[in-house]
Structure 1
């Protein structure tokens, strides 16, 4: 038996987290900043959304010392409350970063508690970046070990695995011992929840908020002496078996500290489920070929993997449905030539011409296509056929967003969110996060 199996995955992770210093993660620094910049973009875009307002209204009367900022807004909450609200806003638009191997959105459940805690306690940018990189590593490795069966069973993997990343990151920031970090990860296992059935509703975002808050709570409990099983993840009655299948232990810990999951992170150009991006890209290409003949379309078929159909072959009743709808993505891309936040808003969702075009779309299973690919075929009333296949969508590892693309995304999200935060200051301070003695200067950039 390998040593890491004998001592438990939580302890192996804890050894790694406790022993890693800034100099060990500097090669991942730039990707971490890209992820955090994207985190601010998505949180700013949602800062005035009713779901954020309701969460804030609910928590404000119960908040402790108001130490931590709500991104894009003037209000503050205690660190756990701010972690909850900021994770919600970062995940709300389905526009956040994506670890493609697991479909985890790494930043929301980890960046939110790390930044809230760092602001409350006055931690440096280097400490934040180190903790964030380590938290992403833990959450994605746990996700790797249970994918794809865990998600297929209905568990919302960003929430269920994000809590482990949040716990590890906050424990690192607090300077906990190996035993305490192991305990924090084990405590997180008892706070993991979130179901795919809730994806078309704001309840999805509650579980992401809970992942952030519960991870911070786990670290704080561990700092004060709470204990947990070192095999809370992989034990016979542990998290993995309770919520799916036996984990692949090699994927939990092999190569720990040598290969980095954050290097596999991707960033969305469209505020929709990642599996729909190839559909949108194919439709943009087809729109150029149609030369304005949208009214002559008789039918549209979209071929893709079982995952694409399972996530997106659904009726569209509201803007949340639209963000996970094959039919709506096709209609927007073809009719409007755009797929931004506005195109997935309630106003666009209810447009008669969009509804009419959605009805012409049929989703078809094509097992030969991998997840993330799509083939779109348009049949005109004249009998003409147009066909496009996209294997690697814009924003994928093969065709990634540039730093300037992510900056532009942040500016546009901030404009749509109606914030008064100084956006150029946010951008500058994220890129220079490792030089900040205290992250409060980043988290207080409004007015």
Structure 2
């Protein structure tokens, strides 16, 4: 009898040998962690992070794990919850483009918290994170694009499965126990796209991280799940979408690494908007920073996902990060798209608001995911057009190590950690050689 999806994934996670992981894959896992932890540091003072910390502190058990950018420590589940929220808060984190999963936010925090609690080495933590991220992305492959199109926030819904797998590996669970942890996680999978512009998104990402630990601990204690929890007739995949593509989940497992295809954002906005920003920056440069009055209208064309995510009215900062209109306005008017350009003052800026009203979105099914075409209709009757298929940070134009380090420094400065940034970068990049996580996590905590 052939193995089920959970059993195949469980065997892969439990049987993986760190010595078989190529340097290139190890490097990408480390780059993902660097990007992830920088994003968490950058929002250390954000009220959303503070509120989550207060809630979890009130119900935390013994404080065994670091909360990034904070003086407080929490139990592993509490730290995982808060750290996941922080890393994903500004939509500035990593993206697996095929699925639009942000794999680090739900997977890295529980793995790091458990590794710190259990005294595991840096290599063990990095390996467990890599395996968890791989499981999240592969399960996502098998349900995309229908899963997201139906309204499921795939970072959370697949992230909890990856988090369970990574935690199972860190706890040394057997293949069978890991399969059960994965199956248990499917019963804790939640999060909707409708909630993305609200704080409810934070809850689903944080819960995915926390529940990954819970699933692994329950499996270690003897809890079991249905063998076909993922692909069964009444299993997770069909309950949340269409019949799964199990080949996309399993083919090349252990040799073709989805986690190594991760990408990193140069702009703190949804990944599908980066081509819009780049196209508008190109047009701004071509026209010599034009007067806004010289632009009568702006048309942005893209695929269905771009329009579904971003054809919206901007009422607040969360809307701005997922708005076609705001991204176009930033590129053309400000010539930049940094963290401050998506905050509340920018969302309420009357000049940006007036220009957003000039922007319309149009479906162009010929454009691939992640691409955008921007057409300017100028007041003098001329038209200017720019099309971007591979925006900065995409697989075709990945951020270099130097660019990732610069992004980390910027985030560290935003969070008040500029003086420690170089030491933090060095510690994260050396995680695979660290005997434990204590020194790195102390650097990432507030004094």
* Partner residue in 2 for 1:360: 358
Residue of 328, 335, 338 corresponding to 1:337: 335
Cα distance change of structure 1 residues 421 and 293 upon mapping to structure 2, 3 Å threshold: closer
CA contact (8 A) 1:25 1:133 kept: no
* Partner residue in 2 for 1:130: 127
Residue of 207, 211, 215 corresponding to 1:214: 211
TM-score normalised by L of structure 1: 0.97
Which stretches in structure 1 are left out of the alignment for 5+ residues?
Answer: none
* Partner residue in 1 for 2:403: 405
* Partner residue in 1 for 2:185: 188
The C-alpha deviation readout for 1:293-322, integer Å capped at 9, x for no partner, is 223111111111111111111000000000
Query: 1:383 Cα deviation (Å)?
Result: 1.3
Which shows bigger deviation, 244-253 or 29-38? Answer: 244-253
* Partner residue in 1 for 2:250: 253
Distance 1:363 1:420 in 2: 39
* Partner residue in 2 for 1:118: 115
Residue of 363, 372, 375 corresponding to 2:370: 372
| Aligned residues: CA RMSD | 1.1
The C-alpha deviation readout for 1:55-93, integer Å capped at 9, x for no partner, is 101111110111111111111100000000000000000
The C-alpha deviation readout for 1:192-221, integer Å capped at 9, x for no partner, is 000000000111111011110001110011
Distance 1:65 1:383 in 2: 67
The correspondence of residues 40-439 of structure 1 with structure 2, limited to 5 A, is 40-294=37-291, 295-419=293-417, 422-439=420-437
> Secondary structure of 1:74's match?
coil
The C-alpha deviation readout for 1:344-378, integer Å capped at 9, x for no partner, is 01011111111111111111111111111111111
Q: Does 1:12 align with 2:8?
A: yes
Query: 1:172 Cα deviation (Å)?
Result: 0.3
Query: 1:425 Cα deviation (Å)?
Result: 1.5
Query: 1:420 Cα deviation (Å)?
Result: 7.2
Distance 1:21 1:307 in 2: 38
Query: 1:291 Cα deviation (Å)?
Result: 1.6
Distance 1:293 1:136 in 2: 43
CA contact (8 A) 2:289 2:332 kept: no
Distance 1:292 1:194 in 2: 41
TM-score normalised by L of structure 2: 0.97
CA contact (8 A) 2:409 2:418 kept: no
Moved over 3 A (4+): none
Distance 1:139 1:183 in 2: 15
The C-alpha deviation readout for 1:98-152, integer Å capped at 9, x for no partner, is 0001000010111010011111111101101110111011111100000000000
Which shows bigger deviation, 219-228 or 278-287? Answer: 219-228
> Secondary structure of 1:437's match?
coil
The C-alpha deviation readout for 1:249-270, integer Å capped at 9, x for no partner, is 1112111111100121110000
Distance 1:330 1:343 in 2: 12
Query: 1:433 Cα deviation (Å)?
Result: 0.6
Distance 1:142 1:188 in 2: 12
Distance 1:397 1:252 in 2: 20
Distance 2:239 2:303 in 1: 28
CA contact (8 A) 1:72 1:420 kept: no
Query: 1:292 Cα deviation (Å)?
Result: 3.1
